[in-house]
Structure 1
Amino acid sequence: MKQGGQGPVSDRTTPPPPRPVRGTARFAVAALALAAVAWVARAVWHIRLAVAGMPASGPLDQGGGRHRPPTALEDGYHIVSSLGDAVTVLCAAMFLNWLWRVRDNARAFSGERPRYIWPWMYLGWIVPVMNLWVPRGIVVDIHRASAPGERLPSVVNWWWGLWLAGMLGGAGLIYADDTDDVIGRAYSDVGLLLAADAAVIGAAVTCALVVRTVTKAQQNRLGEDVRPGGRA
């Protein structure tokens, strides 16, 4: 799990020099803001479905392999859900792109190999149990190397707590049911759905603050490392 083995460029014996991260940070923050908006839209549709109530014809899944035609509101939710999924994928790509950059910089600052080798940059988010702490550990190590001696910003823990709440809530980042089942839950138990939505929105907002905080620390460090006639 931890250091050892040969990884890609970021795990070489000699790390590359640190690079500016402001551009990748802006893309990551923009994608996170878009993700928050997408989940606000989901929450709005959950409320609309709950207020409208289940149609007299019953749930979408009628049993025995039979499904009734969806209402216009249910069709709208399918569209909102699909767009939200697409935005989530984009957000993940932009965030990981930023995370790779700041991780490489952190290694250049410290001169030490990362505690978690490169496959955990991806596997840490999806491997059961490990996904409860590995991603946070990666961010903590990056901040420690970028701002040595400074306390870990509380926003990191807020972000991670909200992320776990959204992930483990069973109706947020990782739906236990398909879209039709989620629609049924909006009719019968919208409170749980809205709680998960709130956790995901909060996680997106606090994650954007984490990106800005770590980026600022690294930009400050890059500024300190600049020498006349040289570069960071």
Structure 2
Amino acid sequence: MSDQETSVPDEPPAGPGPALRPVRGAAHCAVAALALAALAWVVRAVWHIRLALAGQPASGPPDQGGGRHRPLTALEDSYHQVSSVGGAVMLLCALAFLAWLDRVRDNARALSGAEPRYASFWLYLGWILPVANLWIPRGIVADAHRSVFPDRRLPAVVNWWWGLWLAGLVGGVGLLYSDSTDEIIARAYTDVLSLLVADAVIVAAAGTAALMIRTLTRAQRQRMDETAPTGRPGIAP
């Protein structure tokens, strides 16, 4: 038997964890898209006021029932164009917001080492599935923050954003509404105040969403800066 002691090899170092993803650029894009969406809704509100001041033509509303539609006035036709542009801007805003949320969620997993509470498909399905869309999107945002900061209270701006978002959905002119553009024109002639209130709620929701993005992004970046020198898995020194 050899006098030399048998050495036990050290445990191999753990492999690197999930890499952090840059989040500042995505946050800037999402905030810019939200500002553009708010501007688009302000323009819609201006057209609602213009329609109300012009008054309904003697021929009645554009949609006269029974599948009959009268020719649109120049103002009504321009509102259709404003509405179409606003819809495209809202789609762009949604894509930018989801791109930011996807990065924040991945970084939360890398920083905390915990799997997200909601599976990846909820990041998209949670916004469109009836009933589930009343709480899952907020839950995804809250989970991404709490997994990194379990000892902190959820920033109040998250609840303000979600409350205004839900109010915008039921206000009649949000992302999910049943009225056609011609029906909204008819409402502008007869009940413009309800449209203006809904417009204001959506603009406020966009503003609080932008503030929420800045708040959560700043907090996550601070944690990334704090943990980077420690050489934790997944953290680039």
CA distance in 2, matches of 1:84, 1:146: 36
**TM-score under structure 1 length normalisation:** 0.90
CA distance in 1, matches of 2:187, 2:80: 14
Cross-structure match for 1:75: 77
Deviations 1:174-232 (A, max 9, x none): 22111001100111111211111111111111000111011001110111122289725
**Which one-letter code corresponds to 1:85 in the other structure?**
G
Deviations 1:118-177 (A, max 9, x none): 110011111111101000011111111233322111111110000000012223222211
CA distance in 1, matches of 2:99, 2:193: 34
CA distance in 2, matches of 1:172, 1:130: 17
Corresponding residue to 2:23 among 11, 17, 21: 21
**Which one-letter code corresponds to 2:236 in the other structure?**
R
Greater C-alpha Rg: 2
8 Å CA contact 1:61, 1:67 repeated in 2: yes
Q: Equivalent residues in 2 for 1:23-172 (5 A)?
A: 23-172=25-174
8 Å CA contact 1:146, 1:214 repeated in 2: no
CA distance in 2, matches of 1:178, 1:166: 17
**TM-score under structure 2 length normalisation:** 0.88
What RMSD, in angstroms, separates the aligned Cα atoms of the two structures?
Answer: 1.6
**Which one-letter code corresponds to 1:231 in the other structure?**
A
Cross-structure match for 2:193: 191
The size of the alignment, in residue pairs, is: 219
Identity %: 66
Aligned pair 1:231/2:236, yes or no?
yes
Cross-structure match for 1:201: 203
Unmatched segments (≥5 aa) in structure 2: 1-15
Structure 1 residue runs of 4+, over 4 Å off?
A: none
Cross-structure match for 2:6: none
8 Å CA contact 1:140, 1:152 repeated in 2: yes
Unmatched segments (≥5 aa) in structure 1: 1-13
Q: Secondary structure at the match of 2:229?
A: coil
Q: Secondary structure at the match of 1:125?
A: helix
CA distance in 1, matches of 2:66, 2:164: 38
8 Å CA contact 2:171, 2:198 repeated in 1: yes
Cross-structure match for 1:4: none
